[in-house]
Amino acid sequence: MTVTVIARNTFKEAVRDRVLYLLLFFAAVSILFARVLALLTVGDRVKIIEDVGLASISFFGALMAILIGTGLVYKEIEKRTIYTLLAKPIRRHEFLLGKFLGLVLTLAVLLAAMSLIFLGLVLAHTGRIEWGLLVAVVMIFFELILITAVAILFSSFSTPILSSLFALAFYLIGHFSWSLETLLKKIPAGATRTILRFLYTLLPDLENFNLKAEVVHHLPIAGAQLLYSAAYGLVYAAFILGLAIVIFRRRDFI
């Protein structure tokens, strides 16, 4: 019940944040701009609209998770409401979990709004609803769950600006982790290769959640692949949240 109450209050607080609506506005503009881009580009216009639309949903969803998530804990400390909360029978892990679930709920609502705009644009262009696109949207949601956990982790010990930079770096590295694998094949055995191998193993591969190409080009997607990607995101998010809880428990607010 404690986690639920904190999650509900976090959701109410997040939906009142003006930054969220600003990002939602730019996300909508970016999705609608795909229509203009398709008209100016040579190629299959439907595929261009779908590809740009899904990329916009993924990018702006990640920005929402990072910019809102990295300030959740810091705001409580800055306003000194953290002292009132922790003085009550609320454990620190319940506080973090409530913040995490509240933001995940917020992102789910925003993702649904962006998806409606996106599907509406595709419907206006093709005359039919492409339900298969929702598969890619669901995978984006699992990616946002992981990014939210990362934002909570950094916000548990750092300022919003640094936390945002760290979380954004995590997002970018996660989508380009394949380059580390390519680099590993070219570097001879030694300390450098060992370090790179460690980083490649530790850092997440966010491309596991990227099904834009498969969905846009109507390629077959194995159910096992979807289950693996979902489980990968949830397990990694749980690991990151565990680290955040350990750090937050050791933090002294006095």
User: Looking at residue 20, what is its pLDDT?
Assistant: 83
Name the nearest CA neighbour of 65 among 103, 95, 30, 96.
103
Instruction: Summarize the confidence of residues 26-48 as an average pLDDT.
Output: 80
Average pLDDT over residues 219-237: 90
Q: Which amino acid is at 117?
A: I
Q: At what angle do helices 191-202 and 178-186 cross, to 10 degrees?
A: 160
The CA distance from 182 to 186, in Å, is 7
**CA torsion sign, 184 to 234 to 159 to 253?**
negative
**pLDDT at residue number 2:** 81
Closest Cα partner for 216 from 1, 52, 73? Answer: 52
Domain that holds residue 115: 2-250
pLDDT of residue 40: 72
Q: How many domains does the chain have?
A: 1
Calpha distance 108→189 (Å, rounded): 45
Question: What pLDDT score was predicted for residue 43?
Answer: 65
Confidence class for position 93, pLDDT limits 50, 70, 90: confident
> Do 178 and 197 touch, CB atoms closer than 8 A?
no
Q: Which of 55-64, 82-91, 128-137 has the lowest mean pLDDT?
A: 82-91
Give 254's pLDDT tier (boundaries 50, 70, 90). Answer: low
Confidence band, pLDDT 50/70/90 cuts, at residue 42: low
Q: Report the distance separating Cα 144 and Cα 250, nearest Å.
A: 27
Query: pLDDT tens across 4-17, in order?
Result: 888 888 888 888 87
Q: pTM of the full predicted structure?
A: 0.87
